[in-house]
């Protein structure tokens, strides 16, 4: 199964050749700011399964002090992926063109969620990162 994705303006495109894993929604204040939303929705991708197809030169990166960061389109601002030590490790689900055949499996950092947000019932919620810190 191949999954494609792109930014809002379509100038950056990518492909994923394998299955995504561990889809989650992060409700921390940093993700709310980075994604201009109530939360981020992303899934883990294996390094060898991910490939930029077009527009990689338009990527802009923000990396924090622990080596984790984001890459986004310098033209339209779409946040495309999470990076760690210079490699893509997570994909934002909102930029996918195809059905990733995955569902959000957990909501993390719910203790710092926006006061106005209501998280749906039935999905595990964790006050911080949850059982794994990926």
Q: Which of 2, 10, 78 is nearest to 45 (CA)?
A: 2
- Indicate the domain borders of the chain: 3-23+40-108
The model scores a pTM over 0.75: yes
Task: Please count the helices (runs of H) and the strands (runs of E) in the chain.
Answer: 1, 10
Assign domain 3-23+40-108 to its CATH architecture. Answer: Beta Complex (2.170)
pLDDT of 48? 94
**Whole-number Å distance between alpha carbons of 121 and 97:** 27
The sign of the dihedral angle between the CA atoms of 19, 97, 49, 61 is: negative
Residue 39's closest CA among 97, 120, 117? Answer: 117
Q: Which pLDDT belongs to residue 134?
A: 46
Residue 64 pLDDT > 90, yes or no? Answer: no
The answer to whether the beta carbons of residues 6 and 13 sit under 8 Å apart is: yes
pLDDT in tens, 5-33: 999 999 999 999 999 999 999 988 888 88
State yes or no: pLDDT of 62 exceeds 50.
Answer: yes
């Amino acid at each position: 199964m191949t999954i494609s994705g792109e930014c809002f303006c379509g100038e950056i495109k990518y492909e994923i050749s394998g299955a995504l894993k561990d889809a989650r929604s992060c409700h921390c204040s940093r993700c709310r700011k980075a994604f201009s939303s109530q939360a981020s929705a992303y899934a883990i991708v294996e390094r060898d399964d991910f490939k930029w197809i077009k527009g990689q030169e338009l990527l802009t990166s923000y990396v924090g002090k622990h080596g984790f960061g984001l890459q986004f389109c310098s033209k339209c601002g779409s946040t495309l992926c999470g990076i760690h030590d210079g490699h893509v490790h997570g994909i934002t689900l909102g930029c996918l063109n195809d059905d990733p055949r995955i569902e959000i499996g957990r909501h993390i950092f719910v203790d710092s969620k926006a006061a106005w947000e209501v998280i749906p019932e039935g999905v595990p919620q964790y006050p911080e990162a949850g059982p794994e810190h990926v």
